[in-house]
């Protein structure tokens, strides 16, 4: 049954009528309008705005340049600059896709995706164990959760999310996620994540952003020693869950691919650093296939001992 897409505002959101939120409300209204546009029109608009932001957002462009230089040293300067421009296009398209995941109708979304390896999830759920769907920060990440609920309508998907810094957006999106998913869990609520997995639910989780907490380990990512969250190994050990890599990517001009990979064998192992390195290699293989769709504007290559992003040279090219 198709979810309602009416524009009724949660009464709790009425507290956000202060003028400091007016621009946010305007942005929300514009996104609602964009969601009504045909999907191809949305992607074309994303290309136009992405090219504009590539020129305007000099600091983010510089961060992405550093990341691309480290990840793809074999590319020429021109090739990296072209890849960076395509990434900004993908970023804006991903922004529209997030809105599509919140307000798009099932009728509009169902023709836009196909699945690959879906049997791995079905087989794991039949075992009665929790399933940790290990994802990564590709630009279509937010839409991936919504599409997964359409691919598996009878499975109550639990999702891990990072609360938004803007209180209005956080309240709005939290309300939407509460209706879309079986449970939405803030990324710091480890207890609820383990509870979901032990109860036999699939939990959608991405661990791949830079992390320098007490549970980080420094392992290579694209050959660069990088502080990396080791939580996947710890979650699997505590919950006895099956770990299935799951990625959502934009598949050319036809829509989206929901890709499930085989469950990780003998995971977790005895060495948490080796487990984390395995995950980095797995994510890296997917990034190499769809390089412009990975989140390169994030400072991914931080470590505990150096800051390659300081100082940022906003006017530099991808040297």
- Is 269 within a domain? yes
Between CA 16 and CA 7 the distance in angstroms is 16
pLDDT tens digits, one per residue of 219-254: 999 999 998 989 899 999 999 999 999 999 999 878
pLDDT over threshold 70, residue 316: no
- Is 41 within a domain? yes
pLDDT tens digits, one per residue of 258-282: 999 999 999 999 999 999 999 999 9
DSSP 17: -
- Is 100 within a domain? yes
Evaluated on CA atoms 107, 164, 17, 25, the torsion sign reads: negative
Half-sphere exposure of 236 (CA within 13 A, CB side): 26
Whether the CB-CB separation of 177 and 161 falls below 8 Å is answered with yes
pLDDT value at position 209?
Answer: 73
Letter string b/e over residues 55-86, b meaning 16 or more CB atoms within 10 A of that residue's CB:
eebeebbbbbbbbbbbbbeebeeeebbebbbb
- Is 142 within a domain? yes
Whether the CB-CB separation of 245 and 261 falls below 8 Å is answered with yes
Half-sphere exposure of 194 (CA within 13 A, CB side): 13
Between CA 50 and CA 86 the distance in angstroms is 8
Paired with 206 in beta bridges are 135
Looking at residues 281-310, what average pLDDT do you find?
88
The rounded radius of gyration (Å) of the Cα atoms in the chain is 20
Which residues, in sequence order, are CB contacts of 57 under 8 Å at separation 6+? 88
**Number of domains comprising the chain:** 1
- Is 52 within a domain? yes
DSSP 189: -
Q: pTM for the full model?
A: 0.89
Of all helices (H) and strands (E), which one includes residue 96?
helix 77-103
Between CA 53 and CA 51 the distance in angstroms is 6
Domain range enclosing 112: 21-293
What CATH number does the domain containing 231 carry?
3.40.1130
The pLDDT-based confidence of 6 (bands split at 50, 70, 90) is very low
């Amino acid at each position: 049954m198709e979810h309602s897409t009416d524009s009724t505002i949660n009464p709790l959101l009425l507290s956000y009528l202060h003028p400091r939120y007016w621009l946010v409300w305007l942005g929300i209204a514009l996104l609602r309008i964009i969601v009504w546009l045909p999907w191809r029109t949305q992607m074309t608009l994303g290309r136009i705005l992405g090219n504009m932001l590539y020129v305007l957002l000099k600091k983010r462009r510089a961060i992405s340049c550093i990341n691309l230089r480290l990840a793809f040293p074999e590319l020429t300067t021109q090739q990296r600059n072209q890849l960076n421009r395509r990434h900004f296009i993908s970023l804006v398209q991903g922004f529209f896709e997030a809105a599509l995941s919140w307000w798009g109708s099932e009728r509009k979304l169902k023709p836009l995706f196909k699945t690959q390896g879906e049997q791995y999830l079905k087989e794991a759920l039949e075992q009665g164990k929790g399933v940790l769907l290990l994802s990564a920060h590709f630009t279509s990440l937010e839409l991936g959760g919504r599409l997964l609920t359409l691919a598996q309508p009878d499975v109550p998907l639990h999702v891990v999310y990072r609360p938004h810094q803007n209180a209005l957006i956080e309240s709005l999106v939290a309300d939407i996620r509460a209706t879309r998913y079986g449970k939405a869990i803030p990324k710091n609520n480890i207890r609820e994540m383990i509870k979901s997995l032990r109860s036999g639910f699939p939990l959608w989780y991405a661990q791949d952003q830079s992390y320098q907490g007490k549970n980080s380990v420094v392992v290579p990512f694209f050959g660069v020693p990088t502080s990396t969250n080791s939580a996947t190994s710890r979650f699997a050990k505590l919950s006895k869950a099956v770990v299935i890599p799951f990625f959502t990517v934009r598949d050319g001009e036809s829509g989206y691919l929901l890709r499930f990979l085989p469950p990780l064998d003998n995971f977790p192992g005895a060495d948490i650093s080796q487990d984390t390195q395995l995950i980095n290699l797995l994510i890296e293989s997917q990034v190499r296939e769809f390089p412009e769709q990975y989140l390169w504007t994030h400072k991914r290559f931080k470590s505990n001992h150096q800051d390659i992003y300081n100082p940022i040279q906003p006017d530099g090219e991808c040297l």
